[in-house]
Amino acid sequence: MNSPESRSAPRLVADSQSEMTEIVLPNDANTLGNLLGGRLMHFIDLTGAMAAFRHSRTHVITAAMDHIDFIQPVHVGDLLILKSRVNRAFTTSMEVGVKVWVEHPQTGMLLHVASAYLVFVAIDQSGRRVQVPELKPVTADEQRRYEGALRRREYREGEAARRKQAKQAYAAQKEAELAQS
């Protein structure tokens, strides 16, 4: 699906940018007429995957939804606009940022309603990880996002190590309790 040459050539952020537009219908909403959070997360995941696919040019899987902010409610009848782009490419994974706006159908006014960071891993047809091209930030904003992605990755890795340590401590505690009884 992708040749070694296509994986090695650095890519620009602009090459991964993706956009999706949806109209919010009653089956997407709760009893108050607001878009369900899970449905919005689904749209965010799809839009993020498009950017990751465009960057890697291979299959991608969602590894993490690192952070999501629900800023404003979205209502039935609103036009939902989702925009995504790769913030940083690592060896086989990519951080993608997704911003979500609502366009009011009568006025055309745009309102920022949600933002999220996701991590995608590139895989081949057999599900094995594959390397992704480098990302070359060009603008100051792209460089800021590129650097922020590394900080978020370091934080995720620290949290994973903390959870692993806590799990091991819990298992050792339970083992000690069993030995005493």
Task: Give the position of tokens 């790769």.
Answer: 86
d(CA 88, CA 136): 8
CA distances from 150 to 88, 123, 138, 155, 159 (A): 8, 21, 17, 9, 14
Contact 83, 116 (CB under 8 A): no
CB atoms within 10 A of CB 125: 9
Domains in the chain, CATH or no CATH each = 4-137 (3.10.129.10)
Q: What confidence category does residue 43 fall into, taking pLDDT thresholds of 50, 70 and 90? A: very high
Per-residue pLDDT tens digits for 64-111 = 998 899 999 999 999 999 999 999 999 999 999 999 999 988 888 999
- This prediction has a pTM of 0.87
